[in-house]
Amino acid sequence: MSEKTTVVIHPAKNLEGGIRLPGDKSISHRYAMLGALAEGTTRLDNFSTGKDCASTLECLRELGCRWETTRKGETLSVEIQGTGMNLSAPQNALNCGNSGSTIRMMSGILAGQPFESELIGDESLSRRPMARVMKPLAEMGASITSAEGNRPPLRIHGSKLHGIDYSMPVASAQVEACLLFAGLFAEGETVVRSAIRTRDHSELALRAFGVEVTRNLGEVRIHGGQRLRAIEGGVPGDISSAAFFLCAAALFPGSQLAIDSLGLNPTRARLLDFLVQLGVKIRVTQLEELNGELVGTVQAEGAPLKGCKISGGDTAALIDEIPILAAIAPYTSDGIEIRNAGELRVKESDRITSIVGNLRAMGAEVEEFPDGLRIPGGQTLHGASIDSFDDHRIAMAFAVAGLRAQGETQIDGAECASISFPGFFDLLESLVRR
Ligand code: S3P
């Protein structure tokens, strides 16, 4: 457990500068896991520096995969020696820390191994629902037990798996990754269907590693028994981390921010559409493809912000960006309403409760719904003591809200930002003009 720290945020005039961000968390998890299964050495530049991806790497080490990291300044590179689908039985429980992606994706890989394993996590992860992976994996022939209420720890007795045709009741890219990874070890074909499109990094990563995966509208298919080839390349900058800086710039007319080498996968970049809708001037240049992932430079100019409503498929596409959009909502003219966001209640914290509590602490008016919230615009907020609820995206979102509040904002439990972005507060401060 890291020591609790408090960060104080002072009001800003605007933001100015050009930055590049650490690698995307979602992509880093997938590349690390697939690199461990591949034949050959996978070399990845700009790997995520967050603790969540470190948890994935540690789990892989426990499974007999050798890897090494090199750090140059803020940039992390990883070299992973692939096991050629031959993981070994772990001697200890696999500690997934705070990472829902690690536990859900790893459970797919472990379900088809000829050994037993146990996946554990921190207090927050131990409260998160795992039925969403346990149920379909059981249909594939897996044998998994959990703590009460389908919560971690998960005990996995590896078994022979067979492909299934599964429709996800809740759209989840983590569940899709879990099932596609399990599908690699299953006999026959695995089909995963979803009525709502989520991030497609799993299929892009699998294809980059030489696996045949087919996508047809809301379904994705994979055949078991395929081999993976190591890859070399960089991980695109994390657009969910970029969201905090883009929204911070958006708050102040006169801000000029550029972020290069940023992941712009269309299933992840919905934020840019909403920023444009709010009135932010966005320019995208230097587009290129990296292992199937779209990357480019984004320039943002602050402007007076209007309002928007986020619901349905947009909410799923923006799920990690909702905390920051909610945190800037009081400063828009027409407010922001977010619906169909019940999933936020089972993230690292109950994010609806965390957002509502912190906005009210800053003096904002907010209406809470079971599946979302409505935040009226045209409000003036004051600095307050913010509780991060040990949730990285809550800590970072309210640091941004504090930039336009009156007086000082104190972020308690700020250290949790390192789950996805260890250098966040310093980088934010380096861009702020007062
Ligand atoms: C992720 C998918 C999302 C997201 C999480 C990362 C992924 O979760 O919130 O931060 O990498 O697949 P769900 O798939 O549970 O919605």
pLDDT in tens, 199-216: 999 999 999 999 999 999
CB neighbourhood size of 299 (10 A): 17
How far, in Å, is the centroid of ligand 1 from the Cα of 351? 14
* Bridge partner list, 297: 285
* Bridge partner list, 237: 23, 262
Matching residue, tokens 């499109």? 197
| Closest to 321 in 3D by CA, of 276, 353, 275 | 275
The Cα 145–Cα 137 span in angstroms is 11
Dihedral of CA atoms 136, 142, 148, 150 in degrees, nearest 10, equals -20
The Cα 218–Cα 297 span in angstroms is 29
Output the pLDDT for position 210.
98
CB neighbourhood size of 193 (10 A): 15
Residue ranges per domain, the chain?
6-22+236-433, 25-233
Summarised one tens digit per residue, pLDDT across range 141-154 is 999 999 999 999 99
Q: How far is CA 131 from CA 55, 147, 166, in A?
A: 21, 11, 14
The answer to whether the CB of 295 is under 6 A from ligand 1 is: no
Summarised one tens digit per residue, pLDDT across range 310-365 is 999 999 999 999 999 999 999 999 999 999 999 999 999 999 999 999 999 999 99
How far, in Å, is the centroid of ligand 1 from the Cα of 21? 19
Q: Which helix (H) or strand (E) holds 281?
A: strand 281-290
Summarised one tens digit per residue, pLDDT across range 220-268 is 999 999 999 999 999 999 999 999 999 999 999 999 999 999 999 999 9
Amino acid in position 38: A
Q: Do domains 6-22+236-433 and 25-233 have the same CATH topology?
A: yes
Question: 25-233 — its CATH code?
Answer: 3.65.10.10
The Cα 173–Cα 201 span in angstroms is 8
Of 24, 122, 314, 320, the active-site residue reads 320
Matching residue, tokens 């990845």? 44
**Nearest ligand 1 atom to alpha carbon 26:** 11
The Cα 376–Cα 322 span in angstroms is 15
pLDDT surpasses 60 at 217:
yes
**Nearest ligand 1 atom to alpha carbon 177:** 12
Q: How far is CA 215 from CA 96, 102, 143, 181, 289, in A?
A: 30, 24, 28, 15, 19
**Nearest ligand 1 atom to alpha carbon 29:** 11
The answer to whether the CB of 316 is under 6 A from ligand 1 is: no
How far, in Å, is the centroid of ligand 1 from the Cα of 392? 14
The Cα 69–Cα 89 span in angstroms is 23
Known catalytic membership, residue 320: yes
Q: In what order do the strands lie in the sheet with 336-338?
A: 308-310, 336-338, 372-375, 367-369
Domain 6-22+236-433 top-level CATH class? alpha beta
Output the pLDDT for position 1.
54
How far, in Å, is the centroid of ligand 1 from the Cα of 405? 30
Contact 33, 60 (CB under 8 A): yes
Nearest-CA residue for ligand 1 atom 13 is 172
Contact 418, 25 (CB under 8 A): no
pLDDT surpasses 80 at 2:
no
How far, in Å, is the centroid of ligand 1 from the Cα of 331? 28
**Nearest ligand 1 atom to alpha carbon 172:** 14
The answer to whether the CB of 26 is under 6 A from ligand 1 is: yes
The answer to whether the CB of 177 is under 6 A from ligand 1 is: yes
The Cα 155–Cα 18 span in angstroms is 46
Express as a percent the part of the chain with pLDDT over 90.
99
* Bridge partner list, 219: 193, 216
Summarised one tens digit per residue, pLDDT across range 86-128 is 999 999 999 999 999 999 999 999 999 999 999 999 999 999 9
